[in-house]
Structure 1
Amino acid sequence: MKRIFTGILFVMGTVGASFAQDIQNNPGSNHGNKFEQLGTILSTPNEQRTASGAPGVKYWQQRADYNIKCELDEKNLKLTGSETITYFNNSPDVLTYIWLQLDENQHNTLNNSNYQSSSTMPKQTTTQNIDRSVGRNGDVDNGLGDVITKLTDATGKKLAYTVNKTMMRVELPVPLKSGQQFIFNIDWTYKITDRMTIGGRGGYEYFPEDGNYLFTMTQWYPRLCVYSDFQGWQNHQFTGRGEFALTFGNFHVQMTVPADHVIGSTGECINYAAVLSPEKFARYNKAKISAEPVEVVTLADAKKAEKAPSAAKKTWVFQANNVRDFAWGSSRKFVWDAMGIKLNGKNIMCMSYYGKEAYNLYRKYSTRLVAHTIKTYSDFSIPYTYPVAQSVEASNGMEYPMICFNYGRTEKDGTYSEGTKNGMIGVVIHEVGHNFYPMIINSDERQWSWMDEGLNSFVEYLAEELWDNKFPSKKGAAYTMVDYMKLPKNELEPIMSNSENIVRFGPNAYTKPATGLNILRETIMGRKLFDYAFKEYAKRWAFKHPTPADLFRTMEDASGEDLDWFWRGWFYGTDPVDISLDSVKVGKADLKDSYSAPKGNGVTAKVAPPSVNSFEDISKIRNRTDKNIVFQTDRDTATHDFYWKYARGLAGVDTVKFANMIKAQSPPTFETETLTADDKSKYGSKYFYQLNFSNKGGLVMPIIVEFKFADGTTSIDRIPAQIWRLNEKNCSKFYIQDKEVVSIKIDPMRETADIDETNNFWGKSGEPSKFQVFKQKIGANGPVRGQSTGVNPMQVGTGSK
């Protein structure tokens, strides 16, 4: 799904929450709850899914193969198609009907999911909003959605079917037994929607300046629902929120489009020689062995096609094997560049499609980002198995097998803001990364959005960090979750909630799971143990249908770590982390009673400073000091632009100054108690400290203690979360130090998402200055996502662009 920024809280209509309950073993006590095993909260192991988290000896899953022919009518904005589906019943069950998804019905006023949220009368509105509201009560058919014109079995005999909103049940003429297959044919058509006004993932965008269209054909054909061992039919209605549960199969697809269109699609094109000119076909073959992107369709080609649309037609043919879905983009506006990369002995074509509006960003970065993402995700999961990976600029953010649709457009003069560049980098990595989660590791997005969005956002964070050590990642580092975690509990729900019942979807389904996994990797398990277990999960469930229990169990099984306390707190609960250093007992008579932090000074900075995180999290520091890591922007100097140099002081700006005043607050004062005379005699050279902690937030977490000594040195002690086992509210830790401690700070690298840092200090160390948080600007120029606007430092830069 679209990449969601941390700084934005998406508020949807209030609905009743439905989630896996955090069953407590000892609810009336301060122990025996948070560290109790998950037990019956998880599904019962069986021959399909084992207690280790691996597929069982009798694991099975269905399969559906598609042979599709379709035609794009650009003049009338209509798509017509016919498909033959072969459905394989690999389950032990006898089926008397099958379910298909009709996702385009989301736009129909009669056949949409009818999941309504409360609404109010606006004080002012537009005629367009009124027009969109007509028929929302189900009394007028707006003519959108799938129209089934024919449904027959392999012999041509009509089949009975029932359309229920966005789902269609097909009655089988005879029961389909285990091991059998059923072949049937569907003809259908629908009006293509204006995606920029009506919303949704697929449709068209119209460019009035040149009079052309860009089509993103997604969720465009009737397709099988999943029938699984743990749920039966997954036929929950499609509301536009919870995405998809889909069945793997092979696709053979023929698309007839205007002859001057260029198509990017799931799968490999098997007739490039027929649809490309000899010159373009030669460029494509050159790109296969090129070390940098080659323009197959150049900017000049695209501009020429925009000015003189063709009335002829061409048919492109694509083949995709063992995929769960199929999508494509089509336009005469497309510039197309490509390069081949070698991965595990296989050649993978990394390609990008984009209009002139995005040329200066996508030409430089998109295909390089595709290659970087495929390589990085392969290192953290399994080697990428498909032959193609593609990025399409479509003012969008959505993913499908081997292809994704992204945003990021320049200003009229070709420059762009740093926010646009970074947003574009992030969305390309995120959407290309979805090839792994959930396109290969195929979780049920309709039920558990976090299993694809959260896992993918976590690996996205790892890939962003390995792209450029100064990249301002917005999710992954623990401190980025603080504002969300400190919200009132009546505004929160557990991660383990159904997709449709989440109020703040972005933080819940994307950022909190990603942050939790990064805390596991950096703070709780360590990189070596975590990476091994996480890769084991990917290997076990590649091209299968995992559930949350399969992930939780595999991570523990492959690492030897008992993590039930973490899954229970972070995924099943809404408690925040707020560990307080309540007091420090000091066993040295000459230790001062209290200290005051110095006041902060005002800071003056130039407008639009480099966009780097003001706080370097532990991942950045460890990555930079790891001699085995080479960042992509250091490896490939072609990625250097104005902002790369700007962040390193190699380029400057000349613009208006502004001041940001940063104020520091004084830390709390703590009482001390002295040693006795006998103690001084016996332990005169030692310093004794008892640190008393309380769990004010409720979520248990390791306690990371930093000591600063009088001689200026520091040391870190990492106390495992299990210190809270026998008392989940209070704990203490006794230390004997050889040197005098002048200050103590807990969670110094902000690793645990502690929501209140004012109670994390003792001694001379004050709390950190407040850092600035900027909300990513989206859609600043009308409905277009990722469009640069206004003056940006690149336009007034004194350094090289």
Structure 2
Amino acid sequence: MKKTILFVLMGFMLSPLAQGQHSEQNHAERFEQLGPMLRSPNVYRTASGAPGHMYWQQKADHEIEVELDDENQSITGTQKVTYFNNSPDQLNYLWIQLDQNERAKDSDTHKIAPSKIDSRMSLRQLETILWHDLDLGYKINSVRDLQGNDIPVTINKTMMRVDLPEPLKAGETFEFRVDWSFNIHDRMSFIGGRPGYEYFEKDGNYLYTMAEWFPRMAVYSDFEGWQNKQFYGRGEFALTFGDYKVSITVPADHMVGSTGVLQNPEEVLSPTELDRWNQAQQTFDKPVVIRTQAEAERLEKGRAKDKKTWIFHAENVRDFAWTSSRKFIWDAMAVELGGKNVMAMSYYGKEGNPLWEQYSTRVVAHTLKSYSKKTFDYPYPVAISVEGSNGMEYPMICFNYGRPDEDGTYSEAVKYGMISVIIHEVGHNFFPMIVNSDERQWSWMDEGLNTFMQFMAEQEWDRDYPSRRGPAHKIVPYMRSEKHLLEPIMTNSENIIQFGPNAYAKPATALNILRETVMGRELFDYAFKEYSQRWKFKHPTPEDFFRTMEDASAVDLDWFWRGWFFGTEPVDMAISEVNHYKMDSKDPKEIKARQKEAFEREEDYISKAHNRNDIAQTVVESDPETRDFYNSFDRFRVTPEDEKEYKEFMARLSEKERELLNSGMNFYEITFENIGGLVMPLIIEFNYRDGTSEIERIPAEIWRLNESEVTKVFPKKKEVQSIVLDPYRETADIDEANNYWPRQHLPSRFELFKQNSGARGASTGDNPMKRARRR
């Protein structure tokens, strides 16, 4: 005989919300594999995401001599390039990047920049429209072979083609020389940019941050051939690894910081500075000041007429940058990583103190430790932070901002902004200086990955660190943007409207969600480290990252890459309906009591209430002849037959079935709606009437058969009082109002604004430190 267990609806039901249909196809679309969208695996790049057995990459060694003219703000250089053709291809020409030409008079950067006239405009705004009459950009004086013969070249804006005298075959090398010069621009002016100088009017000195300063080899790769996209200023660089020997001639009273290791400290440092430098190399607990503020201030007042040449060597770097000024204070400390010592250092003017002396080098050291733990031991011998009133990264050296007011006080916003930018720019040593992705094509592969790493390093610095990017809920304003203002993360750098959120914040948030919610820390950390180690000192593509993360974790993430990296849909999941069921025990006492309660509730209406007073006696009450069996029949009485049927039913059940039947289990049938379109896991918090709570996590694959709506039953021993979807704000849900059952009132933006005071890291008004000093 078939055993049947009936259910009775006990209570609550919510009306469904409006359907959020985003596609004609209701299933499978968002869970399709990415295969057709990715490059096919080959002998150079495997389907696992690892370099293939025939992987290759080019190399370019440089020997450079450069001299800084501190009177006219210009540099002159000559360089010898040794290019190694490690590819299987024969090359008829080489491409070189001339990034300084981005600031030349005929630059396309200015031509393609939109502009308009407002009713009120500043002179600086007008200057950007007029551009400038400065003589900027490279002067390529000669390109010759080592025998002095001219080599034909073609300059196409920010790219230069070097036509080889004869084809460069696989495995061969080619050596040539380039002589060049250019005028350094004021990067604090409307021209802006990463490199240049800052002029300090009070003491009449310059601080030079020399980057993108020499003609640099473009990348020739297995996946793209020559990377020869023009430089417009935003999309950064794709560069070739090599070894560098660089001699930098500057005024004798200048301090120079650079990529690489200083080869002649005895010639360029004073005896006192040399002693301090040697001490710093053995000091691990705090920075040693090598040139003090007092010493730097004395040098600011003079002008040396003689010169010094600083010589630096760097191995296996993709670029080379340096800084020079007589204003510099210099401090350094050693950091032990992987059994060797790395020098963490900072260069800064007096304008940066007291912040820089207290924090900069300590933050450099912390960043190296934090990133090394999650990727690979930092392989270079030095890491430098320079106070250059901007933010930009190069191998072993970066330029950062964060100055206190003239009285030495500063707001929390300045303090944490400075710490964050140092972590970020030092962190770029890992991505893309070592894991050497193509920044011009995929900004997210360095900015996004690095911002994610920055977030973790910030939290390790201070438990209450006010991180701007990383937590899921902080990307919500961007995800709410109008559709025409959004592009997928997988968009070329120059084609992005909201560059910061797209290239930095959204990929960082996506990776944090992967780590915390989708994969879990253990699987994510292992896979991310595997990617980092597979591709250090190599040229990865997005496919290599996507495939490695899946290969090392056994987690199919194609749905995640498709939604977060190839799409623009937001997350908006909702609880649209909740039904509460309890099992029918078949006990006639319970059944009849429930029926009686339902009957009385159904029949208790307003007319009956009024009639109790208005009708003195009904016909049946006054005339006994109108009564029969049913007037005295108790339809809710438990009869002997009911008791007998119940006993027979229970006898047919097994012990487990009787246990389940008597458990009093609650069943909550919940319908979830995907309004935003971006599928994500369901994180559900059940709050019980006894004051306890628990969280259930349902993988995103629950949406695979219906990407718009899904219903699931949750059995609970306890009775639920309320349900919250995404209680820890893990998924970047753009509308949290529909995440509650029963519905809750959430403050409006205006109400939140009235409630909030200045957040940590964003002090309101002038800085609290200054106000405290006034008291």
TM above 0.5, one fold?
Answer: yes
After superposition, the C-alpha distances for 1:345-380 in whole angstroms (9 at most, x for unaligned) are 111000001111111111111000000000100011
* 1:239 alignment counterpart: 232
CA–CA distance in structure 2, aligned partners of residues 681 and 518 of structure 1: 41
| SS in structure 1 at match of 2:323 | strand
User: Secondary structure, in 3 states, of the residue corresponding to 1:34?
Assistant: helix
- The whole-number CA distance in structure 2 between the counterparts of 1:188 and 1:339 is 36
User: In structure 1, what is the equivalent of residue 703 of structure 2?
Assistant: 724
Measured at CA, do residues 211 and 104 of structure 1 come closer, stay the same or move farther in structure 2, by a change above 3 Å?
Answer: same
Q: Determine which of 176, 182, 198 is the counterpart of 1:205.
A: 198
Aligned residue identity for 1:34:
R
1:502 corresponds to:
496
| Number of corresponding residues | 678
Q: Can you list the C-alpha shifts for 1:586-629, whole angstroms capped at 9, x where unaligned?
A: 125999xxxxxxxxxxxxxxxxxxxxxxxxxxxxxxxxxxxxxx
- Note if 1:116 corresponds to 2:95: no
Aligned to 2:272: 279
User: Quick one: distance in 2 between partners of 1:776 and 1:208?
Assistant: 35
Counterpart-to-counterpart distance in 2, 1:131 and 1:460: 36
Query: For residue 136 of structure 2, what is the amino acid of its counterpart?
Result: L
In the alignment, the residues of structure 2 paired with residue 472 and residue 125 of structure 1 have an alpha-carbon distance, to the nearest angstrom, of: 35
Range 403-412 or range 121-130, more displaced: 121-130
Partners of 2:221 and 2:482 in 1: how far apart? 37
CA change 1:799–1:117 in 2 (3 A) is closer
Residues 789, 733 of structure 1: alpha-carbon distance in 2 compared, 3 angstrom cutoff? closer
- Provide the residue aligned with 2:165 in structure 1: 173
Deviation, 1:131, is 4.6
1:45 correspondence with 2:49: no
Structure 2 letter corresponding to 1:696: I
Q: Distance in 2 between matches of 1:776 and 1:144?
A: 43
Match of residue 484 from structure 1: 478
Contact 1:707 / 1:743 at 8 angstroms: preserved in 2? yes
Gaps of 5+ in 1: 1-25, 592-677, 779-785
Q: What do the CA deviations read for 1:49-91 (whole angstroms, capped 9, x no partner)?
A: 0000000011100000000000000101111000000000001
Equivalent residue, structure 2, for 1:385: 379
Are 1:587 and 2:581 an aligned pair?
yes
Q: Deviations over 1:678-706 (max 9, x none)?
A: 99994672222111100000000000000
- Alpha-carbon distance, 1:583 to partner: 1.3
How far does residue 789 in structure 1 lie from its aligned partner after superposition? Answer: 11
Residues 636-681 of structure 1 show CA distances to partners (whole Å, capped at 9, x for unaligned) of xxxxxxxxxxxxxxxxxxxxxxxxxxxxxxxxxxxxxxxxxx9999
Q: Does 1:404 align with 2:379?
A: no
Deviation of 1:112 after TM superposition, in Å, equals 4.3
**What residue is the counterpart of 1:792 in the other structure?**
767
Match of residue 263, structure 1, among 247, 256, 263: 256
Deviation at 1:154, TM superposition (A): 1.2
Counterpart selection for 2:516 from 500, 512, 522 = 522
Seen in structure 2, the aligned counterparts of structure 1 residues 726 and 764 have a Cα distance that, compared at 3 Å, is closer
C-alpha contact (below 8 Å) 2:688/2:722 kept by paired residues: yes
2:690 to 711, 716, 733: 711
Matches within 5 A, 1:121-136: 121-134=117-130
Letter in 1 for 2:441: Q
Matched, 1:531 2:506: no
Residue 153 of structure 2 is aligned with which of 136, 158, 161? 161
Residue from 680, 690, 702 that aligns with 2:681 = 702
Cα distance in structure 2, aligned partners of 1:172 and 1:210: 49
Mapping of residues 388-467 of structure 1, within 5 Å: 388-467=382-461
| Deviation per residue, 1:83-115 (Å, 9 max, x gap) | 000000001111111110111111111244566
Question: Aligned partner of 1:91: which letter?
Answer: S
Q: 1:777 deviation in Å?
A: 13
Cα distance between partner residues in 2 of 1:764 and 1:222: 62
Greater Cα radius of gyration, structure 1 or 2:
2
How do residues 584-663 of structure 1 correspond to structure 2 at under 5 angstroms? Answer: 584-587=578-581
Q: Any conservation in 2 of the 1:105–1:112 contact (CA below 8 Å)?
A: no
Match of 1:428, SS?
helix
Report deviation, 1:310: 1.5
Q: Confirm or deny: 8 A CA contact 2:247 2:312 kept in the other structure.
A: yes
Q: Given the superposition, is the C-alpha separation of residues 35 and 789 from structure 1 closer, same or farther in structure 2, using an over 3 Å criterion?
A: closer
Shift of 1:390: 0.6
Contact 2:299 2:327 in 1 (8 A): yes
Q: CA RMSD in A?
A: 2.5
Separation in structure 2 between the aligned mates of residue 690 and residue 238 of structure 1, nearest angstrom: 56
**1:194 and 2:186 correspond:** yes
Q: How far is the alpha carbon of 1:766 from its aligned partner? A: 5.1
Distance 2:757 2:236 in 1: 29
Local SS of the residue matching 2:92: strand
- Scaled by the length of structure 2, what TM-score is found? 0.84
Contact 1:744 1:765 in 2 (8 A): no
In structure 2, what is the Cα distance between the partners aligned to 1:799 and 1:695? 55
* Residue 774 to residue 306, structure 1, CA distance change in 2 (3 Å): farther
Task: State the shift of 1:133 in Å.
Answer: 3.6
Residue 620 of structure 1 corresponds to none
Distance 1:243 1:132 in 2: 21
Q: Kindly tell me: are residues 683 and 755 of structure 1, through their superposed partners in 2, closer, same or farther at Cα, counting changes over 3 Å?
A: farther
Indicate whether 1:755 and 2:734 are aligned. Answer: yes
Tell me which residue corresponds to 1:143.
135
Question: Is the contact between residue 737 and residue 743 of structure 2 (CA under 8 Å) also seen in structure 1?
Answer: no
Query: What residue is the counterpart of 2:641 in the other structure?
Result: none
Pairing 1:357–2:351 present: yes
| Match of residue 88, structure 2, among 84, 89, 92 | 92
Distance change in 2, residues 1:715/1:349 (3 Å): same
- Are the aligned partners of 2:490 and 2:566 in contact in 1 as well (CA < 8 Å)? yes
Aligned counterpart in structure 1 of residue 361 of structure 2, from 362, 367, 370:
367
Structure 2 residues without counterparts, runs of 5 or longer:
1-21, 583-593, 599-645, 647-657
Q: What is the deviation of 1:308? A: 1.5
1:77 aligns with 2:82: no
Letter in 1 for 2:665: K
SS in 1 for 2:577: strand
Q: Deviations over 1:257-309 (max 9, x none)?
A: 01111111100111111100000000011111112101001010111111112
Identity %: 57
CA distance in 1, matches of 2:426, 2:748: 37
Tell me which residue corresponds to 1:248.
241
Aligned residue for 2:29, secondary structure, equals coil
Aligned to 1:68: 64
Aligned-partner residue type, residue 178 of structure 2: I
**8 Å Cα contact 1:743/1:764 also seen in 2:** no
SS of corresponding position for 1:795: helix
Which residue type is aligned with residue 75 of structure 1?
A: E
Alignment of 1:556-595 (within 5 A): 556-587=550-581
Higher helix share: 2
The CA distance in 2 between the partners of 1:473 and 1:325, in whole Å, is 30
Determine helix, strand or coil for the equivalent of 2:768: coil
One-letter amino acid of the structure 1 residue matched with residue 574 of structure 2: S
Q: Distance in 2 between matches of 1:409 and 1:214?
A: 15
Given that 2:115 and 2:129 are in contact with CA atoms closer than 8 Å, whether structure 1 keeps it comes out as no
Residue in 2 that maps onto 1:308: 302
Secondary structure in structure 2 of the residue aligned to 1:196: coil
SS in 2 for 1:796: helix
Equivalent of 1:54 in 25, 50, 56? 50
Residues of 1 paired with 2:138 and 2:661: CA distance? 86
d(CA) in 2 for partners of 1:790, 1:384:
40
Q: Deviations over 1:304-344 (max 9, x none)?
A: 11111222211100000000000011111111000011111
Q: Does the residue aligned with 1:195 lie in a helix, a strand or coil? A: coil
Residue 341 of structure 1: aligned partner: 335
CA separation of 1:108/1:517 partners in 2, compared to 1, >3 Å: closer, same or farther? same
Structure 1 residues 176, 40: CA separation in 2 closer, same or farther (over 3 Å shift)? same
1:224 aligns to 2:232 (yes or no): no
